[in-house]
């Protein structure tokens, strides 16, 4: 969980950043309405067939899109039958908050251990933002194996970069920060704690994380990004992992940073 202090203005940016707390309260899932699909099972606290089907279909679309961005050419292994991800949808934000102990700004959670997502049906941003964001978390969690070795900003940057709309709404903030020389140096992203920053600086931090992941994916594709994640999850330092994954492309971190800033300018 992060940033209780963030103002309503910055709410849009941080709405989905909290993804680690575990929901333990889905225990009575037998009582929930269920919609079975290929890679997802949708559980609704209050039955609504149309909503459940749409949630399933959009989750499938988000998964394909994310896998495509990561250059997967085959269907994801282990996400069928007993390996399907579960999506728990509460009837209201209040019910969602009570079940997960979430702060008022949270719109969704992804839990790696239970391979599940929780949110609520009245959320305005569910289909465009929350759902692709949380599906992206599950995919990346799985890829990182021991996900605590991969910096948190990388997880959030990736999840934000896979949202349909919200992600690109963050770009102006990072462009402005780049113009004003307020960017966090890439090697500092892991060291800086956004919770200790002002709301404005925390927004720039996440916008930068998102923009950097988008830059890597758009410029160099999913294979190299997967290598980067693999190196990080093996416990290698950020600079070392970058060097191995983007071998022959960048002379050093300064060179990478320069090209990243040029990419931002062109957005
Ligand atoms: Zn997140």
User: pTM value?
Assistant: 0.88
The predicted pLDDT at position 102 comes to: 78
Q: 109 C-alpha vs ligand 1 centroid, how far in Å? A: 7
User: Do 232 and 143 form a contact (C-beta atoms < 8 A)?
Assistant: no
Q: 148 C-alpha vs ligand 1 centroid, how far in Å? A: 14
Residues 58-115: pLDDT tens digits?
Answer: 999 999 999 999 999 877 889 999 999 999 999 999 999 998 887 777 899 999 889 9
Ion ligand 1: residues, CB within 5 A, are 16-17, 19, 159
How does residue 48 score in pLDDT terms, banded at 50, 70 and 90? Answer: very high
Q: 248 C-alpha vs ligand 1 centroid, how far in Å? A: 32
User: Average pLDDT, whole number, for the chain?
Assistant: 86
What's the rounded mean pLDDT across residues 11-19?
Answer: 41
Q: 190 C-alpha vs ligand 1 centroid, how far in Å? A: 16
User: Do 118 and 90 form a contact (C-beta atoms < 8 A)?
Assistant: yes
Q: 119 C-alpha vs ligand 1 centroid, how far in Å? A: 13
Q: What is the Cα–Cα distance from 37 to 104, expressed in whole angstroms?
A: 31
Q: Is 155 exposed, middle or buried (0-12, 13-18, 19+ CB in 10 A)?
A: buried
Q: What is the Cα–Cα distance from 248 to 79, expressed in whole angstroms?
A: 35
The residues near 19 (Cβ < 8 Å, ≥ 6 apart) are 108, 109, 110, 111, 134, 137, 155, 156, 159
Q: How far is CA 13 from CA 129, 167, 168, 190, 238, in A?
A: 11, 8, 11, 19, 25
The C-alpha angle with vertex 153 and arms to 113 and 256, in degrees rounded to 5, equals: 135
Residues 210-226: pLDDT tens digits?
Answer: 999 999 999 999 999 99
Q: Report the 10 Å Cβ neighbour count for 104.
A: 9
- Helix, strand and coil content of the chain, in percent to the nearest 5, comes to 55, 10, 35
Q: 217 C-alpha vs ligand 1 centroid, how far in Å? A: 18
Q: Is 220 exposed, middle or buried (0-12, 13-18, 19+ CB in 10 A)?
A: middle
- Torsion sign, CA atoms 197, 203, 206, 208: negative
């Amino acid at each position: 969980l992060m940033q209780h202090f963030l103002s309503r203005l910055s709410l849009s940016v941080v709405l989905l950043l909290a993804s680690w707390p575990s929901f333990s309260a889905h225990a009575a899932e037998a009582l929930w309405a269920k919609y079975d699909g290929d890679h997802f099972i949708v559980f609704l606290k209050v039955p609504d067939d149309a909503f459940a089907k749409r949630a399933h279909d959009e989750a499938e679309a988000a998964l394909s899109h994310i896998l495509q961005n990561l250059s997967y050419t085959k269907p994801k292994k282990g996400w069928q039958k007993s390996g399907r991800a579960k999506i728990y949808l509460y009837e209201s934000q209040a019910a969602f908050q009570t079940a997960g102990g979430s702060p008022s700004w949270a719109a969704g959670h992804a839990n790696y251990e239970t391979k599940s997502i929780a949110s609520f049906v009245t959320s305005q941003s569910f289909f465009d933002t929350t759902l692709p964001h949380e599906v992206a978390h599950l995919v990346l969690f799985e890829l990182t194996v021991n996900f605590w070795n991969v910096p948190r900003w990388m997880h959030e940057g990736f999840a934000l970069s896979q949202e349909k709309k919200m992600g690109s709404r963050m770009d102006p903030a990072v462009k402005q920060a780049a113009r004003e020389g307020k960017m966090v140096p890439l090697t500092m992203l892991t060291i800086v704690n956004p919770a200790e920053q002002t709301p404005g600086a925390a927004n720039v931090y996440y916008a930068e994380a998102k923009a950097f992941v988008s830059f890597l994916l758009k410029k160099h594709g999913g294979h190299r990004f997967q290598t980067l994640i693999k190196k990080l999850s093996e416990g290698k330092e950020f600079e070392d992992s970058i060097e191995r994954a983007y071998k022959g492309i960048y002379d050093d971190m300064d060179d990478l940073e320069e090209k990243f800033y040029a990419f931002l300018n062109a957005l």
